[in-house]
Chains A and B, each alone.
Chain A
């Protein structure tokens, strides 16, 4: 076991840190620590401009292979990139769905034509993507997708009808990747297709969802005879589930270490508050703060194990299986701790009608962490079934 990064990697760390220090200034300075989860709706235009700045420096898509225009960074250097990005307080990435999901999916499963058509816009920070998976009737039971895709022989186009929900940044995106049923008679994960759909067209309507924070980052997206070209399907009709899930087994969560830097920034704020208002003298609060600190440290160690380890068969290792349940619960607890340190002040807003301070926003937004991307309950099913070989849920 070795904890240190190599001298070459440390030199890389200095390089990205210096680039961020030089460029996260002027008009971009206001974006520091903004646009993260719970704040994703803020400064969209400025953050898109920041994406183009990143692209100029070659700092988008850093994990993509060089042959596809990426930076081809090693796992270690990706870790360092995400750490330094978060440490500098650089803003939440508008391009993260294209960079982290759409692009890698196209690289793995897309045709050459699809790669030529879609990758450059992601690399240059000019085209943004959203993800059309969940539906009103397909939440935890994600395979229960009802959205339909039909190939219209006259026009040669796919015609999409249905509704997606919880679509982050749909109103800011050029494209959406959508799983839809190509075989209307099919059930569950069979008979699905994976489509690349342009958002700016008459058949697509985006309606923001007002969240418990009073803000809207998530949307409903309605497809009413929306269209895409015949070759805007990734893989064959019927392979949509395979494409949608394809990367999950191999994704080792490199970006998680960056997420943890953002968590560290939040924890620092909570610690500073407790020192300021005297709560740091309370023995119960001391225990809870120490617990949060310890929990975040171990989160980091666990990620380091995830990144270093290799199950050998591409399946998730045990320390990776538990990761979502662990961080989501930790983050939710941090929000509660922040409120309990504030005490009665927790209820007082910055301003009417509903302007939350950062900690209030943290408290409310973290309730979504244990729900999206697989609820804590679904995570426990997955851990028990895949990690411990316990019987699968009955599927009638």
Chain B
């Protein structure tokens, strides 16, 4: 047992931290927030050509680096910490995983190298509910010979307005629950796909609505066999959930650092407010939640590695994802709320960065399932 980053993993983490500290400054975040795209294409290309992060966990046979989920999580944690505005979560933690898990060899061979080169992709599955499983899929398909005709709507599609490729989950007309789920992959400009940006309170990440109207997809677009993708979808979502939890743990670190620094420099009643126990104890609780969150995320990352490589602990994936996400979701928002309070009036301003984290924390809390949702998933296994 060695439940700590290896030296190589520490290097990946530290490199990510120093790169993002320079690249994802407050000014850069705010500029990306104000743009139509929601991220800087230049920075995205630099990440691709200088850092190879899009290639991290893609197997070498498809041109990737062949590293694991622990390395991915080490990078994602830093992205959350520096609030990087990018389609990374959508492209790598959702679409790439979908291709790795459910894609045919042709699909992987064709698309993964493009993602490594900087094309973007995302996953559309949720028809607009707070369910984060096959139950959320409302769009449907019917078969017409070898092709499928898809109709329906999606919400909460990360970077859905700009992604080059879409992975689409749809159900066979009339099916319910986990039955009849299929995954498709296509370019986002295919006729029959209409995409619209959803303005978001958390402007550091873009979401879109997608409408499919008689979208015709050929057999080559189907991922695996028709109607059998529910299990794959659940695995994809669990992996994405772990990635998001890693971002949350990273965000918690930054908001703690910012806040502790602020309280040390802020003087009232003739002394630094960091010396008051009312402040110290809040900060101590924030650090506790941050460390605990990190422990949950790292464990889940190890399990994700097993899930992707059919390792011995692969069956723990759903539980590990729910443990990480349920803890990190409440903890990040709680910490961000405390941070705002500890900043006092300036925490309420647009100028200070606290609100960026506060909003990201709330948006991330609910995306892919909030704490209540994930606890109930755990309770179901434990109690029913």
Interface residues of A (CB under 8 A from B): 1-5, 9, 76, 79, 271, 274-275, 280, 283, 286-287, 289-291, 293-294, 297-298, 301-302, 304-305, 307-310, 318-319, 321-322, 325-326, 377, 379-381, 383-385, 387-391, 393-394
Contacts and interface: CB of A to CB of B under 8 A. Distances in A.
Interface stretch (B88-96, B155-163, B203-211, B288-296): B288-296
A305 B3 contact: yes
Interface stretch (B40-48, B137-145, B371-379): B371-379
B230 interface: no
A119 B53 CA distance: 56
10 contacts: A1-B302, A290-B375, A304-B295, A307-B1, A319-B291, A319-B294, A388-B256, A389-B260, A389-B264, A393-B277
Given A287-B372, A287-B379, A319-B294, A1 B5 contact: yes
B49 interface: no
B302 A381 contact: no
B177 interface: no
A381 B292 contact: no
B1 A383 contact: no
B299 interface: yes
User: Which of B4, B312, B322, B372 has most chain A Cβ within 10 Å?
Assistant: B4
B287 interface: yes
A331 B249 CA distance: 24
Contacts of B376: 283, 286-287, 290
User: Which of B70, B272, B284 has most chain A Cβ within 10 Å?
Assistant: B284
B6 interface: yes
Contacts of A309: 4
Given A286-B383, A308-B3, A390 B263 contact: yes
Contact of A1 (B256, B274, B283, B298): B298
Contacts of A379: 284
B274 A293 contact: no
Given A4-B312, A289-B379, A294-B327, A301 B295 contact: yes
B292 A302 contact: yes
A289 B372 CA distance: 12
A1 B260 contact: no
Given A287-B372, A289-B383, A319-B295, A391 B3 contact: no
A22 B264 CA distance: 59
Interface in B73-129: none
Contacts of B375: 286-287, 290-291, 294
Contacts of B302: 1-3
B36 interface: no
Interface in B349-384: 372, 375-376, 378-379, 382-384
B319 to A, nearest CB: 8
B382 A380 contact: no
Contacts of A394: 275
8 nearest A-B pairs in the assembled complex, by CB-CB distance: A384-B280, A380-B284, A383-B284, A391-B275, A290-B375, A304-B3, A290-B379, A302-B295
Nearest to A377: B281
A383 B301 CA distance: 27
User: Which of A79, A301, A309 has most chain B Cβ within 10 Å?
Assistant: A301
B382 A293 contact: yes
Contacts of B2: 1-2, 308
B301 to A, nearest CB: 7
Interface of B: 1-6, 9, 70, 256, 260, 263-264, 272, 274-275, 277, 279-281, 283-285, 287-288, 291-292, 294-296, 298-299, 301-302, 312-313, 322-323, 326-327, 372, 375-376, 378-379, 382-384
Contacts, number: 153
Contacts of A79: 1
B258 to A, nearest CB: 12
B378 A290 contact: yes
Contacts of A280: 383-384
Given A1-B302, A287-B372, 5 more contacts: A271-B383, A286-B375, A387-B287, A390-B280, A391-B274
A242 B326 CA distance: 42
A271 B272 CA distance: 47
Given A294-B378, A318-B287, A4 B294 contact: no
Nearest to A291: B375
Contacts of B384: 280
A326 B323 CA distance: 16
Contacts of A385: 280
B288 to A, nearest CB: 4
A325 B288 contact: yes
A309 B291 CA distance: 13
A302 B376 CA distance: 23
Contacts of A391: 264, 272, 274-275
A377 B384 CA distance: 38
A305 B1 contact: no
B295 A2 contact: no
B1 A304 contact: yes
B301 A1 contact: yes
Contacts of B327: 294, 298
B287 A302 contact: no
Contacts of A322: 284, 287-288, 291-292
Contacts of A274: 383
Contacts of B264: 389-391
B3 A3 contact: yes
Given A1-B9, A304-B1, A298 B292 contact: yes
B277 A289 contact: no
Contacts of B379: 286-287, 289-290
A302 B3 CA distance: 9
A6 to B, nearest CB: 8
Contacts of B277: 377, 380-381, 393
Contacts of A297: 296, 323
A141 to B, nearest CB: 15
A304 B3 CA distance: 6
Contacts of A326: 288, 292
B382 A290 contact: yes
A395 to B, nearest CB: 13
B284 A387 contact: yes
Contacts of B263: 390
A388 B313 CA distance: 35
Contacts of B5: 1
B325 to A, nearest CB: 10
Given A294-B323, A302-B292, A381 B284 contact: yes
